[in-house]
Every structure is written in structure tokens, then in C-alpha cells.
Amino acid sequence: MGGDACTNSEQWWFNDGSIVLQAGNTLFKLHLSILARASAFFKDFEESRDRPTWPKTSRNAIGEGTEVRPLVLRDVAGYVFTDLLHVLHLKWGEPLTLSTARLVDVLRAAHRYQFPFVCQVAESQLREKMEPVAELQVARSMGSVEWASIAFRNLVLPFDDAANLFLLDWPVKAKILKARQRVRDLRLQHLVVASGELVVYMHAPPHCAAGTKENIPQICPRHLRHLLQFVPTTKRQQFSASFLSAKMPDVAHHGPPFVTPQSDGFPCCACMFGEADVLGKVAGPVAEEYCIVEDVWKE
């Protein structure tokens, strides 16, 4: 509008089409029946055409959606609606190559004009592939409860502050801090419990083909102090790297002597090698953390 001349879409102008749309400065002539099957907005528009409008005036004598009077799609640029139609008509197995920014624009337009299939495709492509703060904002604006919960979790569990965290409102930031504190407390509880457990360790020295079994601590006192430095507030995927980089407590400066690797080859505890699966186990099930974070988000 605004005095700028409109041009017909090269790809989406069908001479036998039954509705003319305007997005930005681009005109589209499409088949209303196809749009109506894909969109509740256009289904309602199609049904409204069949309802008589009284009294007839010079304005409504020619209804919207014609070449004389196109139906204007508010706040949707021409390239965005072109992308939306591309997604709507994707062939089976055809890759979607839109950039993240353009896919977000498509999602917003599809949500506004009620294209559920396009929303589903766009959301599936965007989930966990955006910067976390932006993803949470988009998910909330789309009203997607499940997506927003996952995006919130991805902001909580890395235990680091995204560069643009300031863009979120204070209630959301407070929930992030609250969820992290609860996860931290849960991991501490699991570490304490694991420190009192024994696990079976199989040792097969070169001179003993049969091997021997021994009960060893899940976490020895020395390694418990080591794990307490990082496990409660570290992203799980970084447990092993943090285990290797964190400074091991000095045995000589802590009360009673710590258990050390035994002379017969048995380790002091199950976590002494910093294996990711072992560290994940002593921190507790990740599913529990997901539940805690989701509960905080719903509060």
C-alpha cells in the first residue's frame, strides 16, 4: 500500500485462481479451496463468500479477494508469504533450506493466519536450533506450551548466562535462578547419597586370567570434595572436562587420610577416572531435573 506499485508474484500467480492476496507489495492469485483446507482463517473467508451481505453498497458489491480489491495480509511481507507457500507445498523428502530468521517470520505469519501444518513444520525445524533466549521468546509468542518449556530448560541447565538474558522480563529471569537452585540442591543430595554406596569392581591383572571382584565406594571422600566443586552447577555434557580441569583437593590438608588407589590395582572409587556415565549417575537422573525445571516454569 502506501502508494507503492504492486507486482504479481512470478511463482504464485495462477490465472485460474479464485482469490487475490496482497502481502507487502506483492500480489498472489491462488486457489481459495486449497488455502481453505490448510487454514482456518481462509476456510472462514471461503464460507463468508457464500453468505449474502445486505445491504449491497458500492464498497461491498465487489468483495475482497479480487484483482480489483485484493485481500490484504496485514504485517506480512511479500517474501514471507512466498516462503510460507513454499513450506505449505513442500514435497515429501524435499529439504527445507530457509534460514532461521526467515523461518521465524514464516512461523509468525502462519500462526497469525492459522496454518497449523506450516506452524508444525517451522517449529520442528526451529526447536533447540536457535539462541535460547530468542527461542523462548518465539515459543511464548506462538503460545506453544511444550516448546516454551523445552526452551526454558535449555536456559536453565547450562548454568551460564546467555549474553542477551536481559531481554527477558524479570519474572522469567527469577524462574531461571529458582530452577537452577533446585537442580543444584537435587544434585547435592544425590552426591551425598552416592558417597555412602558401594559398587562392584572387576579387576583382572595380567597375572590373573580369572580376575577378582571387590566392593569399592561409588565416591571416595577425596573425590566427593572434587565433585562438589563443579557437579552441582555444570552442564552435564561438560562433567568429564570439568573433572579433568578442576583442581583435585590436596590430601595432606584434609582431616583423616583419603582412600587412595590400592596396591593390588583396585581404584579408590568408581568415579576416579572421570567417565561421563559415572559422573552422570552420581549427579542423579536427568529426568528428575527436567521435572523440576518444568514445575518451576509452570508456577
Residue 12 · residue 82 · CB < 8 Å: yes
**Beta strand 71-72 with 212-217: parallel, antiparallel or unpaired?**
unpaired
> For the chain, what are the domain ranges?
7-126, 171-298
Helix (H/G/I), strand (E/B), else coil: 23: strand
Using pLDDT thresholds of 50, 70 and 90, give the confidence band for residue 68: very high
**Beta strand 7-13 with 26-30: parallel, antiparallel or unpaired?**
parallel
Using CB atoms within 10 A of its CB, is residue 84 exposed (0-12), middle (13-18) or buried (19+)?
A: buried
Nearest to 189 by CA among 289, 294, 270: 289
Nearest to 13 by CA among 60, 70, 64, 62: 70
**Beta strand 71-72 with 19-23: parallel, antiparallel or unpaired?**
parallel
CA angle 28, 30, 35 (to 5 degrees): 115
Q: Please say if the pLDDT value at position 291 is more than 90.
A: yes
Q: 157-161, 233-237, 270-274: which range is least confident on average?
A: 270-274
What is the rounded end-to-end Cα distance, in angstroms, of the chain?
45
Q: Please say if the pLDDT value at position 171 is more than 60.
A: yes
The three grid cell numbers given for residue 51, joined into one nine-digit string: 453468505
Which residues have a Cβ under 8 Å from the Cβ of 128 and sit 6 or more positions away? 135, 150, 151, 154
Q: 58-67, 69-78, 269-278: which range is least confident on average?
A: 58-67
Using pLDDT thresholds of 50, 70 and 90, give the confidence band for residue 92: confident
The arithmetic mean of pLDDT across residues 68-84, rounded, is 96
Residue 35 · residue 84 · CB < 8 Å: no
Helix (H/G/I), strand (E/B), else coil: 134: helix
The arithmetic mean of pLDDT across residues 259-276, rounded, is 69
Q: What is the pLDDT of residue 277?
A: 86
Q: What is the pLDDT of residue 258?
A: 39
The three grid cell numbers given for residue 150, joined into one nine-digit string: 523445552
The arithmetic mean of pLDDT across residues 95-113, rounded, is 95
Q: Which residue has the higher pLDDT, 208 or 221?
A: 221
Q: What is the pLDDT of residue 86?
A: 97
- What top-level class would CATH report for the domain 7-126? alpha beta
Nearest to 136 by CA among 146, 149, 151, 116: 151
| Omega before 52 within 30 of 0, i.e. cis | no
The arithmetic mean of pLDDT across residues 102-124, rounded, is 96
What one-letter code names the amino acid at 7?
Answer: T
Q: What is the pLDDT of residue 63?
A: 76
Q: Please say if the pLDDT value at position 39 is more than 50.
A: yes
